[in-house]
């Protein structure tokens, strides 16, 4: 087991930052599903970033690439599967090779689940949400944009695959 929370606290503490106030939202408008999953339209939400040809290495195991970050929500067609990458994320590059895009963008798995009848339908677009370090921006800006995309796509349920 890798103690990520403890390592994160120690890392930022060593740089002089105050103890992190972990995000929480006790008033999130979660609700029971209105219909069974096999009758529902699912939208995939990811924090993976669109690949940019103008930037340095963004491939598997690439060094952290802050330039690849994005700052606004986006949507993209799921067919063909878009080229989204995770070099902009601070993950454990020693223990994770990041060479399987299906782990952060499980479009093929969701298409198979749809074909098997376990979900009613996969929305034709996915939603990308940025990994800004501002909880306020995430709550007030990004969450509202994600909700608007979900409504536009007539999603009954959303699956967030954070990276």
Mean pLDDT for the chain overall = 91
Average pLDDT over residues 128-143: 90
Q: Measure the CA angle with vertex 97, ends 103 and 109; round to 5°.
A: 15
Average pLDDT over residues 92-117: 92
Retrieve residue 62's tokens: 């690439």
Phi, psi for residue 85 in degrees, rounded to 5 = -130, 175
Higher-scoring residue by pLDDT: 24, 120: 120
Residue 12 C-alpha from the chain's centroid: 23
Q: How far apart are CA 98 and CA 57, in angstroms?
A: 13
Global pTM reads 0.86
Give the pLDDT of residue 23: 75
């Amino acid at each position: 087991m890798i103690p990520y929370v403890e390592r994160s606290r120690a890392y930022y503490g060593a740089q002089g930052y105050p103890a992190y106030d972990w995000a929480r939202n006790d008033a999130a408008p979660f609700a029971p599903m209105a219909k069974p999953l096999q009758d529902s339209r699912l939208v995939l939400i990811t924090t993976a970033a669109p690949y940019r040809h103008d930037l340095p290495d963004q491939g598997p195991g690439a060094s952290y690439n802050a330039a690849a970050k994005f700052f606004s929500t986006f949507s993209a067609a799921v067919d063909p599967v878009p080229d989204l990458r995770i070099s902009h994320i601070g993950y454990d590059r020693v223990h994770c090779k990041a060479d399987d895009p299906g782990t952060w963008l499980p479009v093929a798995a969701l298409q198979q689940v749809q074909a098997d009848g376990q979900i009613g339908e996969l929305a034709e677009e996915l939603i990308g949400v940025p990994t800004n370090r501002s909880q306020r921006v995430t709550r007030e800006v990004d969450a509202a944009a994600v909700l608007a995309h979900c409504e536009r796509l007539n999603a009954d349920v959303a699956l967030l695959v954070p990276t």
